Amino acid sequence: MIEIDNLVKHYGPKKAVNGISFTVNDDEILGFLGPNGAGKTTTMNIITGYLSSTSGTVKVNGHDILEEPELAKKDIGYLPEQPPLYLDMTVLEYLNFMCDLKKVKKQDRKRMLAEIMAMVKITDVADRLIGNLSKGYKQRVGIAQALIGNPKILILDEPTVGLDPSQVLEIRKLVKSLAKNHSVIISSHILSEIQAVCDRVVIINNGKVAAIDTISDLSKRLSGSSKLLMTIRGIGKDAAGRIGVIPGVNEVKIRRSDGDIHELEISISNEAKSDLRETIFFTMAQAGFPMLEFRSCDPTLEEVFLSITG
């Protein structure tokens, strides 16, 4: 777990970070977002111990990053936006060098490196020069070095930047698998990636925390209610009437009709105590109305982000 409490960082008269506080729970993927100049990179550098804060504390599994730096940093694996690679080394030489820096015992290295390389799928390039690898493989090598020493916390800054769509999907799967045994902080300007992998997000703006919550709860807060879009075959008014009396449903509108095909927009109160999709499904099934499509039309993370940061 990481506990960040009232972080402040001055650069001369400018406050780059102004009282930021949040926690990262065990085995959680936390998205860390903010526009350029919001203080995101400065905060991440303070969390990793690369920079010291003007005031405030960062505790990594109970160890203060300034007072007990060796114990705190031992539990952190960091992938900067530009992976810290030595292009004239082979992959295996570089990872062994990182083992030296992280003081991994020699008797544990062979097994650990074999497991890490298999996990990030770079075993087949172990003896190749890093400078000759593709962007995707270099990114994987960067993730591999962050995993050395089995840190409890992984901090990934723009892990999919510059990758092609298939590489992005592979990195996304890898990040999700890592969360089974690690807490992960991931920062990215590709908000669809954050939406796909993160349990919660922290959005900062002008050096302050602007929002902390799950993506779905932030969407509900922005729109005032949760919205579902459903396409059915049948009588639109009858379907709308049956759904409208379900407790927690605010309003049902027929957005579009084409013969006996109707698109309904369902507005659900924020106070609804349960997920109503199952209830709506069985209501339509019992009425004999086939459902052709059923999806959420809540604001996307991009819309939430733009609304919060202006």
Q: Is the pLDDT of residue 12 over 90?
A: no
Q: In what order do the strands lie in the sheet with 183-187?
A: 76-79, 153-157, 183-187, 29-33, 200-205, 208-213
pLDDT at position 46 is 92
pLDDT of residue 224: 67
Q: What is the pLDDT averaged over residues 229-249?
A: 93
Q: Where are the alpha helices (DSSP H) in 179-234?
A: 191-197, 215-223
Higher pLDDT, 53 or 221: 53
Residues shown for the chain: 310
Domain ranges of the chain: 2-218, 224-298
Contact yes or no for 183/1 (Cβ under 8 A): yes
Treating both helix axes as pointing N-terminal to C-terminal, what angle do 165-178 and 106-120 enclose, rounded to 10 degrees?
Answer: 130
Query: Does the domain made of 224-298 have the CATH classification 3.40.50.10860?
Result: no
Q: Are 160 and 135 in contact (CB under 8 A)?
A: no
Return the residue matching tokens 């992960």: 184
CB 183 within 8 A of CB 25: yes
Q: For residues 221 and 219, give the distance between their C-alpha atoms in angstroms, rounded to a whole number.
A: 5
What is the residue whose two structure tokens read 């309003």? Answer: 251
What is the 3-state secondary structure of 117-148?
HHHHCCHHHCCCEHHHCCHHHHHHHHHHHHHC
The answer to whether residue 7 scores a pLDDT higher than 70 is: yes
Q: Is the pLDDT of residue 299 over 90?
A: no
Percentage of the chain with pLDDT > 70? 98
Distance CA 210, CA 271 (A): 23
Average pLDDT on 158-183 reads 84
Q: Give me the CATH code for the 2-218 domain, please.
A: 3.40.50.300
Whole-number pLDDT of residue 272:
63
Greatest mean pLDDT among 167-171, 277-281, 301-305:
277-281
Q: What is the mean pLDDT of residues 206-222?
A: 86
Go through 176-214 and write b for each residue having 16 or more CB atoms within 10 A of its CB, e for each that does not: eebbeebbbbbbbeebebbbebbebbbbbbebebbbbee
- The pTM score is 0.80
pLDDT digits (tens, 9 = 90+) for 56-97: 999 998 999 999 998 999 999 999 888 889 999 999 999 999
Whether the CB-CB separation of 199 and 30 falls below 8 Å is answered with: yes
pLDDT at 176 exceeding the cut of 90: no
The pLDDT of residue 6: 94
* Per-residue model confidence as pLDDT tens digits over 255-297: 989 999 999 999 888 676 677 889 999 999 999 999 999 988 8
User: Across all residues in the chain, what is the average pLDDT?
Assistant: 89
